[in-house]
Amino acid sequence: MTLRHTLLFSLLAVAGGVLGSWLFRPMPAQAQQNLRSENQVLVPTDGLRFVTEQQRTVAVIGHQGGNAILVLYDANGRPSVGLTAGTGGSVTVRAQADGGSVEVATLDGTSTARLAANASSANLEATFRSSVFSVSNNGANTNVNIPGPNNMTAIQLLTGQNGGQVTVYGPTSRSAMTAEGTPTGGMLTLRDGSGKTTATVSNAGTFASFKEGRVVWQAPPVVKN
């Protein structure tokens, strides 16, 4: 190799080293941040569509009246589920270890509706200005509470192994009347303002009137031997 070739190769080696060290040197943090893709997706004016390989629309995300909307489509291409964001309230969907829940509420929280299901029960609860309507089912029993004045329970419905029971409450939250199913038929019980039984009608067609817990009149009368 001639001296000229030696000098040429040496010059190229030095230039290559300088260029390599410049290309592969650690990039400053600011430069890395500038090269990073922005964590946002630009939604077109007519919405962002999600389609299958067969060009069938499955979902659309967009905006309407300044609010965000999400629409899911069924197998026939028709809108099936729609969510619209707004300033008047909120919708919260939660998935938990043993089930899930959906809660709908007004912005101030005075009115809410909540549906929850887990491994042991399913519950529906609606609240309006502290007045609570609720339905719960644990597989063996169902309990329905209907509110009345002063946010107290007015009517309660229960189901169980022996049948159903309906209890009507007075304004003092004491049971006023109960109608229930028993293994042998039905029973109607009336109570006074203190909750004491005043009259009963049994499945056998017997009517009894009570005073201070004692039977004072009964029809048909009891036949004594």
**Residue-range definition of the domain harbouring residue 185:** 140-225
pLDDT of residue 2: 57
- Per-residue DSSP letters for 3-48? HHHHHHHHHHHHHHHHHHHHHSSPPPHHHHHHHSPPS--PPPTT-E
Tell whether 56 is covered by a domain.
no
Tell whether 198 is covered by a domain.
yes
E-strand ranges in 78-141 read 79-84, 89-96, 99-106, 111-118, 122-128, 131-137
Tell whether 50 is covered by a domain.
no
Tell whether 163 is covered by a domain.
yes
Round to whole Å and give the CA distance between 147 and 194.
Answer: 20
Tell whether 122 is covered by a domain.
no
Tell whether 196 is covered by a domain.
yes
**DSSP bridge pairs for 86:** none
pLDDT of residue 7: 45
Counted domains in the chain: 1
pLDDT of residue 8: 45
pLDDT of residue 136: 94
Tell whether 169 is covered by a domain.
yes
| CATH number assigned to the domain comprising residue 182 | 3.90.930.1
Q: What is the mean pLDDT of each run of 10 residues along the chain (225 residues)?
A: 50 48 51 61 89 93 89 92 86 89 90 93 91 90 88 89 88 89 86 91 88 88 62
Give which of 209, 185, 205, 182 is closest to 196, Cα–Cα: 209
Q: What angle do CA 200, 206, 198 make, to 5 degrees?
A: 20
Q: What is the pTM of this model?
A: 0.64
Tell whether 109 is covered by a domain.
no
